[in-house]
Amino acid sequence: MLDIKFVRENKELVKENIKKKFQDEKLPLVDEVILLDEKMRKLKLNGDNLRKERNSISDEIGVLFREKKIDEANAKKDKVKEINEKLASIENEEQELSVKLREKMLVIPQIIDKSVPIGKDDSENVEIERFGEPVVPPYEIPYHSDICDNLCGLDKESAGRTSGNGFYYLMGDIARLHSAMISYARDFMIDKGFTYCVPPFMIHSDVVTGVMSFSEMENMMYKIEGEDLYLIGTSEHSMIGRFKGQIVKESDLPITLTSYSPCFRKEVGAHGIEERGLYRVHQFEKQEMVVLCKEEDAMDWYNKMWSYTVEFFRSLDVPVRTLECCSGDLADLKVKSCDVEAWSPRQQKYFEVGSCSTLGDAQARRLGIKAKGENGNYLLSTLNNTVVASPRGLIAVIENNYQEDGSILIPKVLQPYMGGKEKIEKSVK
């Protein structure tokens, strides 16, 4: 959410930013919020003047009572009552306008970074760099769910009976490989100096609206019926929410956290749920990284964070590339974002396994997250990035380590988490 003062003083810049995001339907909002703000400031001025008048009359009433001028004093008291009624009306109107202003301000997108490429949607994202040589083996690589089935590692049929489409059972060594990746990701980030955290998996609605846009909320979040609670779509939601309304010490910055959680997503929209495989599902697990820092340090942390994900996947012998997200592919709260994509030797193309974003002070402004500095309090910048989300990360490891005999080589860094096992192969009964 932008500062209304910034919108007022930079109206054309805000409108141009909306155009860059191809959201022209939001252009009228800029003039609407400026008009609402003007009305609120006039009401506040009127209210302040009335309060000054009331205070002055109250002083006069005291003098009149001391001078035994009772009738004059009572007449002044009637005037005070009239002022109080006007103030009550002004305060009610101010409250109504404040709600309307906030609702509209929440929909106006954050100002994107100058380096963000302009494009309508993810088809216009720009490749930045490749890491590792993509390899296509001389033998066919089956679909990942078929590989898992053959190794007795996946049961979607039973999950369909218990939970419906978009859910799954991971079994045996495939399930163990999945857990090994998450555990390794935890230790990988701890070694980078991040503090490990397991957050709440449900959050209140005011935290939801503080960390994401309404469109994201509608398409992603599951609500708990009859309660003000939502299942998190990523641990970033509750991790940032942890600091809601807080003023942190500047000496504690930057705050660097890595969090584990299950994630729950409705996945409403064009992509939909994948019937057969594990690429787009309702439930998955993720190791996340979250940073709160000063505005001037945000871009340095952004570059560090996506590079950690690249390093993580390269340690698993998975080739990856980074894509700069274009303006039309950025959620409204994001200043800049890039995706990390893993190589799929089966499809002979890359697919998304993680996303890194810097959100400026958007989340901090919505949630009231500040730091206390020498010159007063200021809003913090927030950033988030995927270390690994499984089963997407699991698919990347399976495909890139699949052998012609149907087995899967276990990357060396994961072997300690699997009791020293070097290979997953079908058990012989």
Average pLDDT on 352-360 reads 97
Number of domains in the chain: 2
Q: Which amino acid is at 21?
A: K
Q: Last residue of some domain: 105, 134, 168? A: 105
pLDDT surpasses 90 at 214? no
81 with 210, same domain: the answer is: no
39 with 178, same domain: the answer is: no
- Residue 269: pLDDT band (50, 70, 90) is low
The pLDDT score that the predictor gives to residue 273 is 63
The pLDDT score that the predictor gives to residue 429 is 45
Q: Last residue of some domain: 73, 105, 137? A: 105
pLDDT surpasses 90 at 352? yes
137 with 266, same domain: the answer is: yes
Per-residue pLDDT reduced to its tens digit, 173-182: 999 999 999 9
172 with 91, same domain: the answer is: no
94 with 126, same domain: the answer is: no
Average pLDDT on 242-262 reads 97
Per-residue pLDDT reduced to its tens digit, 158-202: 999 999 999 999 999 999 999 999 999 999 999 999 999 999 999
Report yes or no on 287 lying in a domain. Answer: yes
97 with 168, same domain: the answer is: no
pLDDT surpasses 60 at 428? no
Report yes or no on 112 lying in a domain. Answer: no
Report yes or no on 117 lying in a domain. Answer: no
343 with 233, same domain: the answer is: yes
SS3 175: helix
Per-residue pLDDT reduced to its tens digit, 317-330: 999 999 999 999 99
Per-residue pLDDT reduced to its tens digit, 19-41: 999 999 999 999 999 999 999 99
Report yes or no on 114 lying in a domain. Answer: no
Rounded CA-CA distance 323/321 in Å is 7
The pLDDT score that the predictor gives to residue 220 is 87
The pLDDT score that the predictor gives to residue 68 is 84
133 with 62, same domain: the answer is: no
CATH number of the domain where residue 300 is located? 3.30.930.10
pLDDT, averaged across the chain: 94
56 with 188, same domain: the answer is: no
Q: Which domain holds residue 87?
A: 4-105
- Residue 67: pLDDT band (50, 70, 90) is confident
Report yes or no on 116 lying in a domain. Answer: no
Lowest mean pLDDT among 49-58, 254-263, 267-276, 303-312: 267-276
Report yes or no on 110 lying in a domain. Answer: no
Lowest mean pLDDT among 57-66, 321-330, 356-365: 57-66
Report which of 255, 245, 323 is spatially closest to residue 290, judged by C-alpha positions: 255
The rounded percent of the chain whose pLDDT value lies above 90 is 87
The pLDDT score that the predictor gives to residue 276 is 76
The pLDDT score that the predictor gives to residue 35 is 97
132 with 90, same domain: the answer is: no
Q: Report CA 278 to chain centroid distance, whole Å.
A: 22
Report which of 326, 383, 390, 389 is spatially closest to residue 356, judged by C-alpha positions: 383
Phi-psi region of 419 (alpha: psi -120 to 50; beta: other; left: phi over 0): left
pLDDT surpasses 60 at 110? yes
Q: Per the omega criterion (within 30 degrees of 0), is the bond before 109 cis? A: no
Q: Last residue of some domain: 71, 105, 139? A: 105
Average pLDDT on 218-238 reads 93
167 with 305, same domain: the answer is: yes
189-194, Cβ contacts within 8 angstroms, sequence gap of 24 or more:
189/258, 189/287, 189/289, 189/308, 189/387, 190/258, 192/256, 192/258, 192/308, 193/256, 194/256, 194/257, 194/258, 194/289
- Rg of the chain over Cα atoms, rounded to whole angstroms, equals 28
Report yes or no on 355 lying in a domain. Answer: yes
CATH number of the domain where residue 76 is located? 1.10.287.40
Report yes or no on 62 lying in a domain. Answer: yes
Contact, 173 vs 147, CB < 8 A? no
Q: What is the pTM of this model?
A: 0.90
pLDDT surpasses 90 at 130? yes
DSSP assignment of 276-293 equals SSSSS-SEEEEEEEEEEE
Pair of tokens at residue 421:
């096992």
317 with 405, same domain: the answer is: yes
Rounded CA-CA distance 358/285 in Å is 22
Contact, 130 vs 319, CB < 8 A? yes
